[in-house]
Amino acid sequence: MLAIALCAVLTAQLQETITVSRVVVDARVTEYGGEPITDLTAADFEVRIGGKRAVVESAEWVADVGVVESSSLPVVEDRPAEPLVDSSTRRLGRLFVLFVQTDFARDSWRTQGQMKFMQHYERLLETLLPEDRVAVFSFDSRLKFRLDFSSDRDAIREALRQTLFINVPPEPPIVPSPSIASRLDREDMRRAAHSETGLLVVANALRSIPGPKTLLLLGWGLGERTLGGVSMKRQWGPARVALEAARVSIFALDTTDADYHDLEVGLIAAAEQTGGFYAKTHIFPHVAIERLQRTLSGHYELTLRAVDDLKPGTQNLIVRVKRRGAIVLAPTSVLIRR
């Protein structure tokens, strides 16, 4: 009996403790023109975290256009009920943040490009659904808060028009939840001396709001010129981590009136690293806007199980699909917690 007991103790001591880390990643899979691919399963995805293969436990397609949520309360609407949606459902809108760079030095290429793209804001607003809500920030010498999450197209249009000016905007009107106003640190906004720091402030404010969000960066560049070329500023590192934690993807629409400029490298990097894309707007802005509309019509929520020996912290993330010609937009890093 004693031998059996000792054997049981030794067996228990030799057993490994396996810690499983599960993470949820938002990914978009499209064709070249932005048309979403919606029929993928978990088996179609190949994911590596920290260089090691991760298990894709589920891949759920979420249609962001026309999403509905069940409710126990009836919904009263002036318009007729839509097909396949009964009176016990209500629509959920997407959350957008428009982050507009206004050049403080008034460089002609940047200012002219911003003014030219202003003519296409209406087309951009037409891609939004009535249920979508938009917040507007601008950055010149510091971060400025111009509109809290709103579905009022006139208010969004006016806030965008005001981004042309280097002024001190009034406090935006109070809006129903989710509101970003109460989550913003006004002192951090005032001290944000770079666009990267402004993105960090916005991302920190968005972290407590559940679900994925889209940040449209309309501007002229990120990063800084160095002897070796253009590199991301050190402030981008914390901003990237905060954006990831808040489930924010950056879609960078370059409004600079030029075929090429060096700081577009930073815009490209920020978009790729957060699961978005980069596009120029100075020649064919409607092409960029149409691609954006198609791409944002839905996404996959991937539930991943990382290997148990990965160290806690930020790890590289690679998401691929087994389909020729498919373009995958997903963050390039993920936070592992134990």
- Round to whole Å and give the CA distance between 166 and 172: 17
Tell me how far apart the terminal alpha carbons of the chain are, to the nearest angstrom. Answer: 39
Least Cα distance to 148 among 127, 176, 125 occurs for 176
How many angstroms separate the Cα of 159 from the Cα of each of 76, 170, 202?
A: 30, 11, 17
Q: Which CATH architecture has domain 95-296?
A: 3-Layer(aba) Sandwich (3.40)
**Over the range 28-55, which residues count as b (16 or more CB within 10 Å of their CB) and which as e?**
bbbeeebebbeebebebbebbbbeeebe
Q: For residue 43, what is the DSSP state?
A: G
pLDDT in tens, the chain (338 residues): 444 444 444 344 434 444 557 899 999 999 988 999 999 999 999 999 999 999 999 999 999 875 444 333 333 333 333 333 333 334 468 999 999 999 988 888 899 989 999 889 999 999 999 999 999 999 999 999 999 999 999 999 999 999 999 999 999 999 999 999 999 999 999 999 999 999 999 999 999 999 999 999 999 999 998 888 889 999 999 999 999 999 999 999 999 999 999 999 999 999 999 999 999 999 999 999 999 999 999 999 999 998 877 888 899 999 999 999 999 999 999 988 86
CB of 137 closer than 8 Å to CB of 146: yes
Pair 213, 246: CB distance under 8 Å: yes
Q: Where are the domains of the chain?
A: 21-64+304-336, 95-296
Distances 8 to 15, 17, 40, 273 between C-alpha atoms, Å: 11, 16, 46, 50
Residues across the chain: 338
What's the pLDDT at 80?
36
Identify which of 188, 209, 190, 208 has the alpha carbon closest to the alpha carbon of residue 200. 188
286: three-class secondary structure by DSSP: helix
CA distances from 245 to 58, 69, 233, 289 (A): 20, 24, 20, 27
Cα distance between residue 203 and residue 67, in whole Å: 24
Measure Cα distances from 171 to 98, 137, 148 in Å.
17, 12, 9
**69 CB neighbour count, 10 Å cutoff:** 8
Q: Enumerate residues 6+ apart whose C-beta is below 8 A from 220.
A: 101, 103, 107, 109, 110, 113, 114, 254, 255, 256, 261, 263
Q: How many CA atoms lie within 13 A of 264 on its CB side?
A: 17
Contact (CB, 8 A) for 65 and 128: no
CA pair distance 163, 118, nearest whole angstrom: 10
pTM: 0.85
